Amino acid sequence: MECGEIREKFSAYIEGIISLEEQSVIDEHLKSCRECSESLADLRKTLEHVKNLEDVDPPQWLTQKIMTRIKAKERAKKGILGRLFYPLHVKLPMEVAATLVIAVTAFYISKSMQPGIDLETYKLAKAPSERTEPQVPTSPTSRKGGEGGFGVETRGKEAVVGKDEDMSRKQSPEIGGSTSIKEREESASQELRQGYGRREFSFEKEKASAIAEGKGVPAKPMEQEVISGRPSAIKKFAEAPKVPAPAEKRDVMKASGDVLGNKSKTEILAHDGVAGEDMGKKDIESITLGLVAKDYETAEKNITDSIRLLGGKIIKFEISDGNRIVFAELNHGKLGELIGKLRLIGEVKKDGLSLEGMEGDVVVRIEIVGVK
Amino acid sequence: MSNYIKGKERTADEDAEIVSLCKKGDVDAFEVLVRKHQKRLLNIAYRMVSNYEEACEVVQDAFFSAYRDIKNFEGRAKFSTWLYTIVVNLSRNRLKQLNIRSQREGPSFDDSVSAGDSEITLEPVSNEPSVLERLERRDVQLRVQECINSLDSESKEVVILRDIQGFSYDEISDILKIAEGTVKSRLFRAREELKNRLKKMVGEL
């Protein structure tokens, strides 16, 4: 072997991981080669120096620092989990779920209640002191949840679309040259004619078709008020005009506004050229009486008591031209008694009213006129 | 030599039981492992990065990484071998960072001094009474460390693991993830290079 080959094996030779044969060859070479012997000695010394390198000791704080860091991480991990899930391990998910359920439930409740908060309900819930404020009754379309209809009606007495107003005027030919309020009353009267004596669905159908045709919802007479606690009479009036019975619907009732205007007369309410299926079958007669009284409130109360005593029902109260008007439903046989009782309250003006030929229930419009 | 033999005798993982506790989240059990292995990890790191403070940082990172990933430790190698692999890798990375930093900042006059100071501070009290001898010994150690530092990374790692830490070729093969033959060839080349550099530096060995 040459020196180069021999020196390559020095590392293994020193460690004793060399075959005996190679070891003997190296030993023989070293005896004769001084350079290789010195190289081997240098390598041994180098390795000795390396092995003699002193170990360093870890600082005292090292373990503590390592563990503090690890424990801090553990705490942070557990802290997050603990905050999220302690003590039931599902606290946050439960809270989130509960919040969502409450929110969704509240949303649906409010949404489902919204159609119920129509203007009629609102009016029924009003205090009597608010009765003098102008009110716009709702229409059947609003009860169907139609936004357009509701929106038109809630705009108040001036919220009527011009086209509707025009239509109302056209449909009230008998009242010409009246004030705008009168026009509106006539408009309502027209509507009443359309609404009386028909089933509600047909009325609603008509309204819906009117809307579809772009006519919108006609304005209702201003300063109407539905007395609270009287919804049953209203429905009865709407659904079964000929057979007095409690009812629930209030929609049609509002259409019974100014039935006959200021004239004292008996008038047959009938369909106004619309779907004459119930023509002459469910018509209700209506009469108007005038009552001169000093005190509106007292007179109104006395009228109410009288109507009730006679088995009739108050439909609504109205204020028109400063006079209060009481609408009631009463059997025609009781009209005489009613007039008698009204005379106890004040002077009754019936302007040649004839009670003959009447059948069943009639709508009585009692207009209270103040003493001038 | 005794180190080499001792390394080869270790077969079963004596840390297996503690490691299983750690896997179950027993932090205190991990402290046992820290106390047991921190010194060797620190010395490997210290010889690699040649800076005591940096080596301490490396050791902290190594144990932190080990705890974080201990659930992934499958036990194919010994836990200590796994730890040494971590610390060698982290030391290698830290050394690269330090080299890059020193290149950016220019040569630091304090670099070699700080390493020497750390060694002096932590050097156990020598039995040799002579101050001169101690200074000479310290001087030799500094020079040896400098020569080790000057080696390339592969050579440095095998010298540290074999000649300083006394790991077996088999263990070094596991730690560095290289073949045993590669370990040997790298080591023989590294030793020859180290001898030449040291001889060049100090003259007479």
Q: Which residues in chain B have Cβ-Cβ distances shorter than 8 Å to A70?
A: 27, 30, 63-64, 67
Nearest to A188 by CA among A223, A220, A164, A230: A220
pLDDT at A115 over 80: no
CA distance A119 to A133: 14
How confident is the model at residue A190, as a pLDDT? 52
Q: Which residues in chain A have Cβ-Cβ distances shorter than 8 Å to B185?
A: none
Q: Which residues in chain A have Cβ-Cβ distances shorter than 8 Å to B49?
A: none
Q: Which residues in chain A have Cβ-Cβ distances shorter than 8 Å to B83?
A: none
Q: Which residues in chain B have Cβ-Cβ distances shorter than 8 Å to A51?
A: 163-164
- What region does A280 belong to: left with phi over 0, alpha with psi -120 to 50, or beta? left
* Type and span of the H or E element at A315: strand A313-320
* Type and span of the H or E element at A348: strand A347-349
Interface of A with B in 71-90 (CB under 8 A): 71, 73-74
pLDDT at A150 over 70: no
How confident is the model at residue A234, as a pLDDT? 42
Q: Measured between alpha carbons, how far is residue A267 from residues A188, A203, A206, A263 in Å? A: 15, 21, 23, 10
Q: Do A51 and B195 touch (CB under 8 A)?
A: no
* Type and span of the H or E element at A287: strand A285-293
pLDDT band at A159 (very low <50, low <70, confident <90, very high): very low
pLDDT at A215 over 50: no
Beta bridge partners of A329: A313, A363
- Candidate from A4-13, A50-59, A160-169 with smallest mean pLDDT: A160-169
CA distance A362 to A266: 10
Q: Do A220 and A210 meet the contact criterion of CB atoms below 8 Å apart?
A: no
pTM (2 decimals)? 0.47
pLDDT, tens digit, 9 for 90 and up, residues A236-275: 444 434 434 343 333 333 333 333 333 333 333 333 333 3
How confident is the model at residue B48, as a pLDDT? 95
How confident is the model at residue B129, as a pLDDT? 53
Mean pLDDT of chain A: 65
Residues (pLDDT < 70) of chain B are 1-11, 106-129, 205
How many other β-carbons are positioned within 10 Å of the β-carbon of residue A16? 9
% residues pLDDT > 70 (chain A): 49
Please tell me if residue A56 touches chain B, with a CB cutoff of 8 Å.
yes
How confident is the model at residue A262, as a pLDDT? 38
Q: Do B195 and A46 touch (CB under 8 A)?
A: yes
Higher pLDDT, A128 or A44: A44
Q: State how far residue A15 is from chain B, nearest Cα, in angstroms.
A: 7
Q: State how far residue B100 is from chain A, nearest Cα, in angstroms.
A: 26
Helix B111-122 to helix B131-150 angle (10° resolution) is 130
How confident is the model at residue A287, as a pLDDT? 83
pLDDT, tens digit, 9 for 90 and up, residues A25-61: 999 999 999 999 999 999 999 999 999 899 999 999 9
Q: Do B188 and A49 touch (CB under 8 A)?
A: no
pLDDT, tens digit, 9 for 90 and up, residues A68-99: 999 888 888 776 665 665 555 556 677 888 89
